[in-house]
Amino acid sequence: MSLDFLGELRRTHRCGELRSENAGEQVVLMGWVNRRRDLGNVIFIDVRDRTGLTQIVFDKSDNPALHEKASQLRSEYVVAAIGKVRKREEKTINRNLPTGEIEVVATDLKLLNESKVPPFLPGDPALANEETRLKYRYIDLRREPMQYNIELRHKVALAIRQYLAAQGFFEIETPFMTRSTPEGARDYLVPSRVYPGEFYALPQSPQLFKQILMISGFDKYFQIVRCFRDEDLRADRQPEFTQIDLEMTFPQPDRVFEVVEGFLQAAFKVAGFELKAPFPRMTYDEAIRQYGIDKPDLRLPKLTDVRAAFTAEQLQSLQLNTELPVVAIRIPRIGELSRKERDDNRPLFGERKDARLIDDVKRLEKSFPEAVAKARELAGAQPEDLLVLVGGPVQVEKSGLRPDYGVFMAAGQFRVELSRKYADRHMAFRQGGFHFVWVTDFPMFEWDEADKRWNAAHHPFTSPHDRDMDKLESDPGSVRALAYDVVLNGTELGSGSIRIHRQDVQKKIFSALGMSEDEAKARFGFFLEALEYGTPPHGGIALGLDRIVMILAGAESLREVIPFPKTAKAVDLMVDAPTPVSEAQLRELGIKIR
Ligand code: ASP
């Protein structure tokens, strides 16, 4: 066999798949030169493809011409080699390599392509800086960890598809060029050439389309789908990201939970993790009271209200509100903090009007030994645990937020900060483990202090609880929604809700949100109309695929699991986007840059 006519090669081997059983076989390997080691009379080339690498040997005494050819090879050249598999001698076996028991003795070699000296080598364990990696993403993606992540992503998505398909869900596409959809972010707009001055919007999610699919009789829909949101990019967000989006008719929230738990089990299994279902559940109210946050991290102890440990006089002398909770934050194994550490931590609590921090519990103990002992007991604190207290200010300012929630949330946020800062000491994040929880019964509305109005906490198509319907106008803040989030280790993985399926209710919600009938018609007229044609009760959810894969890959950033991501400044460094466009293009679209 010779390599003169590559087109005639029907069967090649994969570089990572040869084992000692293949000894004696004639094989053809194609791939990249991962590394060349030149020992003078013998040259070793590691040839790499997606599956791994195999060592190929060129011996001068066997074949001087071939040895000479091999000496011209450089990193990342693309080659085809023929040779015979042979077992390595015991002392040269490489136990770190799946193919380490064999090598291939070359009988022919063809250089398929050369490579410029790459800015970094895929096989180099030292990581290039991220800008270089993103600019030369095609080289970065050749690296083994990236090949692993992208393969994992494929397998996770496939497992989810298979699970949902087996449950009777159809994957149905919805348009990317559509009109503004409400998920609370800015839209990416696409100008229309045919109608100058008019725009499509890229979907922030398929929300209205999936609801319309329910009206269309499609029972169970899902889609692994790109969503586009033009937000100021906080750490680890992407302007385009992928959701596992689903919707079904006639579900109770329980049914949605069951489906999500099922596909998460399938997805985690692919990465080698068994998940126990059902996941625990708590209401939003419980989450706030126990964790001070709507995405509780269950790996560390809950908050405890220890107000009962103090007398009213004691609280007054501490300038704490006697009517509001006194919340103990306990973090195990951190130990007592020094004065300096406490001072450094203060900015993490922040300047707050809704809560006061008491971080020197030692000192408090001097004044009120019994009260502090009681508080420790209530919080279950061990001697080596860090304990801090958060209470309410004497004067409570009126705002849309309940004052007790203000105290819990201040404590919850500080708990998160402390737990991040002292992760090396409490070690709770190291032990691994996936602590899922469903948070249910979110409030329907959120008070927007800046604009002095109520906003939809989830989105305006979320159904309020039946029993809270009569409070829509009188007390919007207390209306609960049939909305739920799935949370993993303090991160929100997804959220969804049972939807409004009656047009009269939908109208009421728009009006509670301060939207006039005309405005509602102008924005969602098509949807309000659809609701009038026999809309079944329906509900669903969407989960972030990128984040799930990131967690499963043990990666630090979403960019590690998205093949072609954008930077934190929303730039694609490889293709160099966004860019200005030509005057001619703009003219055609009727657009003038200001
Ligand atoms: N469309 C919602 C979102 O993207 C999810 C849902 O309500 O199903 O957050």
For 417-468, the pLDDT digits (tens) are 999 999 999 999 887 789 999 999 999 998 887 888 888 898 899 999 999 9
- Both tokens of 195, joined, read 């109608």
Give distance in angstroms: CA of 200 to centre of ligand 1: 20
DSSP string of 34-99, one letter each residue? EEEEE-SSEEEEEEEETTEEEEEEEETTT-HHHHHHHTT--TT-EEEEEEEEEEPPGGG--TTSTT
Cα of 206 vs centre of ligand 1, distance in Å, is 8
The span from the CA of 506 to the CA of 499, in Å, is 9
In the structure, what pLDDT confidence band is assigned to residue 2 with cuts at 50, 70 and 90?
low
Question: Given ligand 1 and candidates 244, 247, 459, which is best to mutate, with the most ligand atoms within 8 Å of its CB?
Answer: 459
Measured distance CA(275)–CA(436) in Å, rounded:
9
Tell me what pLDDT residue 10 has. 53
Q: What is the pLDDT of residues 90-106, one digit of tens each?
A: 999 999 999 999 999 99
Query: Measured in whole angstroms, how far is the alpha carbon of residue 106 from the centre of its chain?
Result: 46
Mean pLDDT rounded to a whole number for the chain: 94
- Using DSSP, state whether 268 is helix, strand or coil: helix
Q: Tell the residue nearest (CA) to atom 4 of ligand 1.
A: 205
Please give the distance, rounded to the nearest whole angstrom, from the Cα atom of residue 542 to the centre of ligand 1: 5
Per residue in 199-225, pLDDT (tens digit) is: 999 999 999 999 999 999 999 999 999
What tokens appear for 23 in the block? 């000894």
- So what's the pLDDT on residue 1? 53
How far is residue 164's CA from residue 172's CA, in Å, rounded to a whole number? 12
Q: Which of 169, 180, 183, 214 gets mutated to test ligand 1 (max ligand atoms within 8 A of its CB)? A: 183
DSSP 3-state of 443:
strand
Residues with CB under 6 A from ligand 1: 183, 205, 207, 495-497, 540-542
Residue given tokens 């860090």 in the structure block: 386
Whether the Cβ atoms of residue 483 and residue 457 lie closer than 8 Å to each other: yes
Residue nearest to atom 7 of ligand 1 (CA): 496
Cα Rg, the chain, nearest whole Å: 30
Among 171-175, 236-240, 500-504, which range has the highest average pLDDT? Answer: 171-175
Ligand 1 centroid–CA 152 distance in Å is 24
Tell me which H or E stretch contains 246. strand 240-249
Distance 535 CA to ligand 1 centre (A): 19
Q: Which residues pair with 184 in a beta bridge?
A: none
CB neighbourhood size of 194 (10 A) = 6
pLDDT above 90: residue 233:
no
Per the CB < 8 A criterion, the answer to whether 82 and 101 are in contact is no
Could you tell me the distance, in angstroms and rounded to a whole number, from the CA of residue 378 to the centre of ligand 1? 39
Q: What is the pLDDT of residues 528-583, one digit of tens each?
A: 999 999 999 999 999 999 999 999 999 999 999 999 999 999 999 999 999 999 99
Measure the CA–CA gap between 210 and 188, rounded to whole angstroms: 20
Q: Which of 109-123, 305-319, 519-533, 542-556 has the lowest mean pLDDT?
A: 519-533
pLDDT band at 495; cut points 50, 70, 90: very high
Q: Which ligand 1 atom is at minimum distance from the Cα of 461?
A: 7
Could you tell me the two tokens for 366? 């001097």
**β-sheet bridge partners, residue 331:** 386
Question: Which residues, at least 6 apart from 162, have a Cβ–Cβ distance to it below 8 Å?
Answer: 266
State the average pLDDT over residues 369-382: 96
DSSP secondary structure string, 99-134? TTTEEEEEEEEEEEE--PPPSS-TT-SSPPPHHHHH
Nearest CA, atom 3, ligand 1: 542
* Residue 205 CA to ligand 1 centre (angstroms): 7
Asked whether the predicted pLDDT for residue 181 surpasses 90, the reply is: no
CB 122 within 8 A of CB 31: no
Q: How far is CA 552 from the centre of its chain?
A: 10
